[in-house]
Chains A and B, each alone.
Chain A
Amino acid sequence: MLTFSRQEPGRRKQTGNEGIIMTSESIVHFHRMKDMPSSHLLGTGTPMCAGCGGLETLHNMYDILGEKTVFVNAAGCMTLLSVYPFTPFRGGWLYTAMASAPAGAQGVRDAMDILLQKKKLSTEDNMEVVVITGDGSAYGMGLSATSAAMDRNLNFIYLCYDNEGYGNTGQQYSAATPHAAITSTSKGSHGYPGFKKDLFSIWAAHRPAYVATIIGAEPLDLAKKIEKLQTMTGPRMLISLAPCPTGWDYDPKLSVEIGRLAVQTGIWPLKEYSDGKIKHTKIPKQRKPVEDYLKLQGRFKHLFEPQRDEAGIAEIQARIDAYWTRVMA
């Protein structure tokens, strides 16, 4: 018996999630910032860097998902959240390896479903399985396992905290690194020659239940998306841009500002995919010039010093403009 079935998005049978209450209509609780949880669920004192944009996202997300969650982790910065015998999580945690966190989630979900079916696990004891990986795993080594988890319509949530490089090893470039960024393996005068891979589209092409981009600096948008995906089953995929003071070379106090600028300049479009459609959830009315975002970060300093690289900045701006022209058309 195959335990998964190909179904039309949005018409998924509610299998394998006994005990997690699902409704067909999303009930939006988060209209304003005032509606957001006022205390954090995730424990403090983790070894994440000051100003970690990934941790900011995780805090916001965890407050809404709650403690009935098993986090299945791949090698990356967040692996250091749970170092024996301490953990900031109130639910479950399983570290796997760099390539196979979605497969780890498959085993946990299947086992819990089997136990629910055999009445060896009560519905109150059921938990949501959440994969948490960096961009190195999500965009590269783990992409095959992620693709296959979506093929199998695995009922799970995937959070990629995308700090645009192999951050835990000192920010070497990855497939998520943006054009021109200086990383520890692209230190030349023009930075990284490649272009950031469009993981959102790759994921969406699998037609999973849900794909969204989020960012910790826009907590209301993030909260609405988490709330929405909680009403769904199947693969629910999130990519959070994760401003990274150590990897991007800026003062940690600027993390929120840089996050907001990523949205306001349009370089990080906030959007979601469901039911075969892509919707932009926060369209900047008047996009700020991308250099407002770039110039705060040491990794793009070479675009401004010792002299402005007009062509380089214009090229980045042109790509953003072209994206939004396509979107608004």
Chain B
Amino acid sequence: MNRKLLTGNAAAAWGARLAQVDYVPAFPITPQTEIIENLSLWIDSGEMDARLVTLESEHSMITAAGSAATSGVRVFTSTSSQGLLYGMEMIYTVAGWRAPFVMVNVSRGLSSPITLEPDHNDIMAARDSGFLQIHCATCQEITDSVLMAYRLAEHKDIRVPAIVNQDGFYLSFTREPVSLPDADRAAAFVGEFDPENLQFKASAPLSQAMAVLGGGPYSYFRYETHLAVQRALSVYEEVADEFASAFGRRYDIIDNYRMDDAEYAFVMMGSFATKAHDAVDSLRNAGWKVGLARLRLFRPFPQEKIRQLLTARRAVAVIDQNISMGMGGVLHSEVAAALYGLKNAPAVLASYIGGLGGRDISQVEFFEMINELKHASDKSEPLPPRLLYTENELTEIRKLQAIAQVEHADIQQAGTGQAETDRK
């Protein structure tokens, strides 16, 4: 094993390199660009035998990724945020093509207002597309998940594209020690891409992505994709076992931390879960029975595992780093749906929204959440959804607003002055 200090972006690029991808359609966007820069460098220097083509947009990039994958080559691509949304028509489309390729998304908050820092609203927009989704919390996990994602995407019972998600800045630009799998063993683990019938060749004419007429055929193909995505739940276990025996690292569908006897639990996704990880330790030291459940696999959604994990807990806080306008946290809704109607479901399933646009979730906030969970479960009262925001942050935004108002007043005054001059 080759241990290196790598950013999340470099770790993603290594995943593609170790998977021996043939083709990389690319387009730059912060904070993802370093991935394609790395790949481009390796391809130019001959360290990697692949083609990289920069398209003129993510819409075209995802089209080319899908069409190359359905033409029989192994494809890797990556994007982020606005790019993912710009390509969203094709995200849904290529999933329907059953084009098996892997895309790394580097999560970044969505416009407006425009920002560079992370949250999960971008990746949530791809939720219903038919892409598998693996969410990472460390740089090591990114390299490893890219390799595992190829196994899932290309599996003959699945055959849909997969997204490996990492958080912008927190992972993309943060160096962590990463044990790089040995190239030969990685290649052996991923295996050769067998496109089966996915190929254009003169001797075997094929029409792909044809139109259908009527809801019958349409529903059939949509259901087929849904069922294929669901099959990834069981295939995932095989792949994770094989990965563990090959490389000594086991990645479960849900990464549980001190959950065994936990009365209270945090449910999260992505790198912000490492903040909750520390909070769990502090709370445990203070005598609280608290645990953390971090979902790695978000699509397919591990409904049964959520049920097994969260029933019989006193109270659960789902922390969403996304916001569905007019509804709230997406993960909270999905966890609630999984638990609905179960007799021993936790009495309190609280929703917290935090970490939008890279906003920190402080240790104190985690402690306060557990406090709230305890009080609510003691009184058997539901907790209203919380939008995490501190007084201090409110003071800071008020200061910015004050500056904006002063500027505005100045301009107005200047404008009025001008108008008066004009009248004279």
Residues of A within 8 A of B (CB): 1-4, 67-68, 70, 72, 79-80, 82-85, 87, 89-97, 99-100, 102-108, 110-115, 118, 120-121, 124-127, 144-145, 147-148, 151-152
Asked if A68 and B57 sit within 8 Å, CB to CB, the answer is no
Q: Does B119 contact A (CB under 8 A)?
A: no
Q: Choose among A4, A107, A127 the residue that contacts B201 (Cβ–Cβ < 8 A).
A: A127
Asked if B51 and A97 sit within 8 Å, CB to CB, the answer is no
B205 shortest CB reach to chain A, Å? 5
Q: Choose among A80, A106, A120 the residue that contacts B55 (Cβ–Cβ < 8 A).
A: A106
A94 to B209, CA, bound (A): 6
Chain A residues near B217: list those with CB within 8 A. Answer: 84
Chain B residue at smallest Cβ distance from A148: B56
Say yes or no: A84-B212 contact (C-beta < 8 A), given A100-B59, A103-B59, A114-B23. Answer: yes
**Interface on chain A toward B: helix, strand, loop, or mixed SS?**
mixed
- Of B61-69, B130-138, B153-161, B371-379, the segment with at least 4 beta carbons within 8 Å of chain A is B61-69
Chain A residues near B199: list those with CB within 8 A. Answer: 115, 121
Q: Does B389 contact A (CB under 8 A)?
A: no
**Interface on chain B toward A: helix, strand, loop, or mixed SS?**
mixed
B272 shortest CB reach to chain A, Å? 34
A100 to B93, CA, bound (A): 12
Q: Does B167 contact A (CB under 8 A)?
A: no
Q: Considering the complex, which residues of chain B in the window 197-250 have a beta carbon less than 8 Å from any beta carbon of chain A?
A: 199-213, 217
Asked if B202 and A124 sit within 8 Å, CB to CB, the answer is yes
Chain B residues near A91: list those with CB within 8 A. Answer: 202, 205
**Chain B 183-209 per-residue mask, 1 if CB under 8 angstroms from chain A, else 0:** 000000000000000011111111111
23 inter-chain pairs at a CB distance below 8 angstroms, sorted by A residue, are A1-B43, A2-B53, A82-B207, A84-B210, A84-B212, A92-B205, A92-B206, A93-B210, A97-B63, A99-B59, A100-B90, A107-B66, A107-B69, A108-B68, A110-B23, A111-B68, A111-B73, A121-B201, A124-B202, A125-B201, A125-B202, A144-B57, A148-B60
A46 shortest CB reach to chain B, Å? 12
Contacts A103-B59, A114-B73 known; 9 new A-B pairs at CB < 8 A: A80-B211, A103-B61, A106-B55, A108-B200, A110-B68, A110-B73, A115-B71, A145-B59, A148-B56
Q: Does B52 contact A (CB under 8 A)?
A: yes
A189 to B317, CA, bound (A): 65
Chain B residues near A80: list those with CB within 8 A. Answer: 211
Chain A residues near B291: list those with CB within 8 A. Answer: none
Asked if A115 and B73 sit within 8 Å, CB to CB, the answer is yes
Asked if A83 and B57 sit within 8 Å, CB to CB, the answer is no
Asked if A92 and B200 sit within 8 Å, CB to CB, the answer is yes
Asked if B213 and A97 sit within 8 Å, CB to CB, the answer is no
Chain B residues near A104: list those with CB within 8 A. Answer: 63-64, 66-67
A85 to B56, CA, bound (A): 33
The interface size of chain B toward A, counting residues with CB under 8 Å, comes to 45
> Which 7 residue pairs spanning A and B have beta carbons closest together?
A107-B67, A103-B60, A111-B71, A148-B56, A107-B64, A107-B68, A125-B201
Asked if A90 and B205 sit within 8 Å, CB to CB, the answer is yes
Chain B residues near A83: list those with CB within 8 A. Answer: 210-213
Tally of A-B residue pairs with Cβ under 8 A? 164
Q: Considering the complex, which residues of chain B in the window 30-83 have a beta carbon less than 8 Å from any beta carbon of chain A?
A: 43-44, 51-53, 55-57, 59-61, 63-73, 75
B360 shortest CB reach to chain A, Å? 39
A223 shortest CB reach to chain B, Å? 22
Say yes or no: A89-B67 contact (C-beta < 8 A), given A103-B55, A127-B200. Answer: no
Asked if B51 and A3 sit within 8 Å, CB to CB, the answer is yes
Which of the listed residues B57, B66, B201, B212 has the most CB atoms from chain A within 10 Å of its own CB? B201
Chain A residues near B89: list those with CB within 8 A. Answer: 97, 99
A108 to B67, CA, bound (A): 6
Say yes or no: A79-B211 contact (C-beta < 8 A), given A106-B64, A107-B67. Answer: yes
Asked if A127 and B202 sit within 8 Å, CB to CB, the answer is yes
Chain B residues near A70: list those with CB within 8 A. Answer: 200
Chain B residues near A95: list those with CB within 8 A. Answer: 208-211
Asked if B60 and A145 sit within 8 Å, CB to CB, the answer is yes
Asked if A126 and B202 sit within 8 Å, CB to CB, the answer is yes
Chain A residues near B320: list those with CB within 8 A. Answer: none
Say yes or no: A67-B202 contact (C-beta < 8 A), given A82-B210, A110-B23, A111-B68. Answer: yes
A100 to B208, CA, bound (A): 16
Chain B residue at smallest Cβ distance from A118: B22
Q: Does B346 contact A (CB under 8 A)?
A: no
Q: Choose among A67, A110, A118 the residue that contacts B64 (Cβ–Cβ < 8 A).
A: A110
Say yes or no: A96-B63 contact (C-beta < 8 A), given A84-B210, A84-B212, A111-B68. Answer: yes
B271 shortest CB reach to chain A, Å? 32
Q: Considering the complex, which residues of chain B in the window 75-121 have a beta carbon less than 8 Å from any beta carbon of chain A?
A: 75, 89-90, 93
Asked if A106 and B212 sit within 8 Å, CB to CB, the answer is no
Q: Does B357 contact A (CB under 8 A)?
A: no
Asked if A145 and B56 sit within 8 Å, CB to CB, the answer is yes
A126 to B203, CA, bound (A): 9
Chain B residue at smallest Cβ distance from A85: B210
